[in-house]
Amino acid sequence: MRRVLPLILATFPLIAGAGTPAAVVAELWKASSHAASAAADADRLQQLFRSDAVVVGGIYREGKPVFNAMKAADFVAAQRQPRPHGFHECEVVREVKEYDRFATVYSVVETRRDPGAAKADYTGVNSVQLYRDDAGWKIVSLYYHVEKPGSPIPLAGGKTGACLDSQ
C-alpha cells in the first residue's frame, strides 16, 4: 500500500483538474506549452475539449487582422507536430463566470519561446466557454485574440511574467 499511495496521490491533481472551469483552463495552457523541438501534449488537449468544440481567433499579419476558425479536433491534431521553437504559455489574468453547467473564462496569456525571457514574444486575450456534463467540465469553444501592436491588453491587476499556475 505504501508504494501505491504515492502513485494515487500523484494522479489526483490531474483527475481533480477537471473539477472546475479554472482548472480546465489552467490545464489548457500547460498542455499547450512545450520545449523547442517538442510537441504540445495533444492527448491531454484532446481530453479537455468536447468532440464538437471549435477554436477560433484573430491575429495580425503585416498589420492586417486575420480571423481563423477550425474544429478543435483539427487544432489538436496540429499540436501533435514538434515545433522548432519553444512555446511557453503564462496565464497572468483569469476571470471565471459560472452558472449551472455553463462557464466562461476570460484569460490573458503571455507566450514566450524562452520561459525565462523577461518580455513575452506576444500576449493574447482568450475567451473559453465550457460545459459540464457527467464526465466534468469540457471546453466547448476557445476564442483567442493576439494583442494588436500599439494597443496593449490591460492586465487588470495581473503582472507580466507572474504566471497564475506554475508550469
Assign residue 105 the CATH number of its domain: 3.10.450.50
**In this structure, what DSSP letter does residue 25 have?**
H
* Alpha carbon distance 42, 33 (integer Å): 10
Q: Could you tell me if residue 158 is inside a domain? A: no
Which residue range(s) make up the domain with 47? 4-146
Which pLDDT belongs to residue 106?
98
Rounded average pLDDT over 119-139 = 97
**How many folded domains does the chain comprise?**
1
pLDDT at 167: 41
In-domain check, residue 33:
yes
Answer yes or no: is 167 within a domain: no
Q: How confident is the model at residue 165 (pLDDT cuts 50, 70, 90)?
A: confident
Measure the CA–CA gap between 165 and 167, rounded to whole angstroms: 6
pLDDT of residue 54: 98
- Asked if the structure places residue 73 within a domain, the reply is yes
Look at residue 166 and tell me if it is in a domain.
no
Q: What is the pLDDT of residues 27-70, one digit of tens each?
A: 999 999 999 999 999 999 999 999 999 999 999 999 999 999 99
Domain-embedded: residue 107: yes
Q: How many whole angstroms separate alpha carbon 128 and alpha carbon 103?
A: 8
**How many Cα atoms are found within 13 Å in the side-chain-facing hemisphere of 142?**
26
pLDDT higher than threshold 50 for residue 98: yes
Cβ partners under 8 Å of residue 55, min gap 6:
69, 70, 71, 72, 75, 141, 142, 144
Share of the chain above pLDDT 90, in %: 84
- Residue 160 forms part of a structural domain: no
Q: For residues 112 and 167, what is the distance between their CA atoms, to the nearest angstrom? A: 13
Residue 153 lies in a domain: no
